[in-house]
Structure formats: structure tokens, C-alpha cells
Amino acid sequence: MKKFDIAIIGGGIIGLATAMRLAEGFPDRKVIVLEKEDDVALHQTGHNSGVIHAGIYYAPGSQKAGFCYSGNEELRRYCDDYGIKYEMCGKLIVATHDTEVRALEELHDRGVANGVPDLEVVGPERLREIEPHAAGVMALWSPNTGIIDYRAVSASYAERFVTFGGELSTSTEVLNIAATQEGVHIVTTKEEIYAAKLINCAGLQADQIAKHMDATNGLRILPFRGEFFSLKPEVARMVNGLIYPVPDPSMPFLGVHFTKRIDGTVEAGPNAVLSFAREGYRKTDFNIREILGILTYRGFWGMSKTHWLSGLEEQYRSWFKYKFVKSLQKLVPEISSQDIWRPSAGVRAQCVDRTGKLIQDFAIVERSNSIHVLNAPSPAATASLPISDHILTLVKESWDL
């Protein structure tokens, strides 16, 4: 049986950033990344909006706020060093009605409290200068927001991990984990391995992995599908950068928005509907075991009680394209349903506790031989380097390596 000092489960951006940092920090230790797919970054990391967030939305003092703020800068420095393309195209958060102005001003204050530089509240004229096709009564302009391909970032982290001597084992699904006196015994589809320590970065499956080690802390991941459309090339030029609505502060999702991608295309979306499978990218994907897992979890019903109305609205927007287009028209009135095509989707892992509270901040749980990244939703891709530095600090403080 192969032996390792540390096994990391999950080859998404968090597992790979952590692997790279560990390989750099402990060059004489044997580290392996176990990834069930035949390549890295094929789930959340490969299906996201590709935005380098500035850190506006998050509660001051939270890990999300701190890690996003520093992650934005660290990520750009990393990309400069390793030749990864990104663009600081800026983001406009648009209040489309007077009733949203107060929330927009509060967002501005929150961004300032989080240290986000160069935030500017702008009126309709300046709004039109930045995004000539957007409409609103007021907007928040964030020039420190950008776009990137997180698959390229993940591939670079993986390459550096392997260069430092790490082992990346793809097509290797972890099936079972048993704690032993000295560490963990891991059964995979390829082989059985032994590791002194384990780091769980399994994204949408992180709670299932944590269960093996009694480390869920009562949290459960609920999968939320986010559906996108592309703008046809002839209308894509109506969008210069990122155009977002004022979000509902009680929800961790940001609302349907326009996102310029690093390849020049523009996407509209994503909405947020409960997915009937953790890795269900099509509306019709259905996993009966996972559905039963959701329906029998008390927290799901608690969440439904609080958020049933917004849940229904999102569902309605998912089934009826005209409703999706209506949300887009609030931001860019000229868009019509003929302008959007090529639907695609991503699935977000969102943690909920037993009472049904949506966990807003990152959640990283420690056990004596293991660390579990249980909640790493957006902006975790932006914050991948500070998250991995935080895990490295926990490893150094708690594990005698």
C-alpha cells in the first residue's frame, strides 16, 4: 500500500492551491491529490463566472471579506508571475429603481469597510459612460473587479504542485475512509492508500467525505444549479465588462448578471435553483439517493420555510425563458430573447445548518488528523490563495510534520 504524509481529496481550485502551497512549504513531505474525474477543475471551478471579485458584498470581518480582498491582489500577482491572462474590466452594480438606492449605498459602505479600493457611487450619466447600454438610477462602480479563466489558474497550480514533487492522481474516486491509529486508510477506485493526514477539498461532495470522519459539524451541502446563456456575438458588444443587479442581502447569490468572459464572449446568468443532483448540470439530471438525502435533512425544510418565495421565483425564471430575459432587461433594456443562446450551467455547493440557515462565510472544520473545507462558495476561486495559506497555517499549527 502506498504511503503519503498528506492526501488531499479534490482537484478543484481549492485542493490544487492547497496542494501547491503544501508542496512548496514541505518539500520533503509526500503529498497526493486524489481527483475522481479524468482532469482537474471539472466541477465548480470549471463552471463558474470567471470573475475576480473585489470583496464588496461580504460581512466586514468575515473570512470571505478578508480572503477576497487579499485574494484579488495575490491572484493577479500570481498570474503576472506565471503568465496567466486576466483583465480588470470593472463591475457596475446597478440600482434599477429608487427602492434599491439605499441598499446600493449600504453596499458601497460595506465595500469601503472591507477595504475595496476606488469604489464610486455614480449617477445615470456616468453609468452610461461606463456601460452605454445599461439603465439605472444609480450604480456602484468597482474598477478593481476583473475576469479570468479559473481552469487556467487551476492547471497552473497543478503544474507547480507536480514540479515540487507532488503526485496528482486523476480518475481516482475516494470510496471510503477509515481513521487508523496513525492516520487514515483511504479506499479509492484505483488503489488503497495510507496517509498520515487528510485534507478534504471535495467541493459539492465535501460533506459526504467529512461524514466518514465525523466532521460535518451538522452542516450539509445543498447543490444549487446556476443556469447561464451566452449573448450572441452581435449583441455581446453591448456589454463592456460586468453588469450586476443589487443583490438580496439575505442570500449568498448575487442575482442574474452580465459577465464578460476572458475569451471576449458575454454570458448572462446564473440564477440559483435547487439541483436534483449534486453534479446535475442538466435540468433533467436526477439522483434519487441525493434527493432523499436533501428531503430527509431538517435544515432543508428550515431553509425552505424562510426562502420559499425567492426559491419559487428562481424556479419560475428557470422554466420560463421570458422571465429570465425580463431580469436581464432590467439591467440592459435592449436585450431580447433572440439575443441569448447556448444555455449552460454550473452547480454551486452551498452549506446549510440543521436550522436551515444558509452559511454565509467559508467553513473549514478541523479534526486531529484531518481538515475539511465544508463551505467554499463564491468568492472562493478569487480567494483560493489566501484560503490555501490559511490551511497551511492550520497544518503548521496543529500537525507535527
Ligand X SMILES: Cc1cc2nc3c(=O)[nH]c(=O)nc-3n(C[C@H](O)[C@H](O)[C@H](O)COP(=O)(O)OP(=O)(O)OC[C@H]3O[C@@H](n4cnc5c(N)ncnc54)[C@H](O)[C@@H]3O)c2cc1C
Q: Point out which residues bind ligand X (CB under 6 A).
A: 9-15, 34-37, 42-45, 47-51, 53, 173-174, 201-205, 226, 270, 346-348, 376-382
List, in sequence order, every residue forming a beta bridge with 121; answer none if it has no partner. Answer: 140
Q: 186 with 34: CB under 8 angstroms?
A: yes
Q: Smallest distance from the beta carbon of 128 to ligand X, in angstroms?
A: 25
Q: Smallest distance from the beta carbon of 30 to ligand X, in angstroms?
A: 18
Beta carbon nearer to ligand X, 138 or 274:
274
Beta carbon nearer to ligand X, 23 or 42:
42
Beta carbon nearer to ligand X, 12 or 183:
12
Q: Smallest distance from the beta carbon of 115 to ligand X, in angstroms?
A: 17
Rg of the chain over all Cα atoms, to the nearest angstrom: 21
Q: 179 with 367: CB under 8 angstroms?
A: no
Beta carbon nearer to ligand X, 124 or 208:
208
Beta carbon nearer to ligand X, 201 or 395:
201
Q: How far apart are CA 23 and CA 166, in angstroms?
A: 6
Beta carbon nearer to ligand X, 44 or 63:
44
Q: Smallest distance from the beta carbon of 63 to ligand X, in angstroms?
A: 13
Q: Smallest distance from the beta carbon of 196 to ligand X, in angstroms?
A: 19
Beta carbon nearer to ligand X, 138 or 246:
246
* Closest-approach residue to ligand X (CB): 12
Q: How far apart are CA 19 and CA 346, in angstroms?
A: 24
Measured CA angle at 12 (ends 195, 362), to 5 deg: 90
Beta carbon nearer to ligand X, 44 or 138:
44
Beta carbon nearer to ligand X, 39 or 105:
39
Q: Smallest distance from the beta carbon of 398 to ligand X, in angstroms?
A: 21
Beta carbon nearer to ligand X, 110 or 348:
348
Q: Smallest distance from the beta carbon of 45 to ligand X, in angstroms?
A: 3
Q: Smallest distance from the beta carbon of 16 to ligand X, in angstroms?
A: 7
Q: Smallest distance from the beta carbon of 341 to ligand X, in angstroms?
A: 18
- Determine if the peptide bond prior to 270 is cis (ω within 30°): yes
Q: Smallest distance from the beta carbon of 224 to ligand X, in angstroms?
A: 8
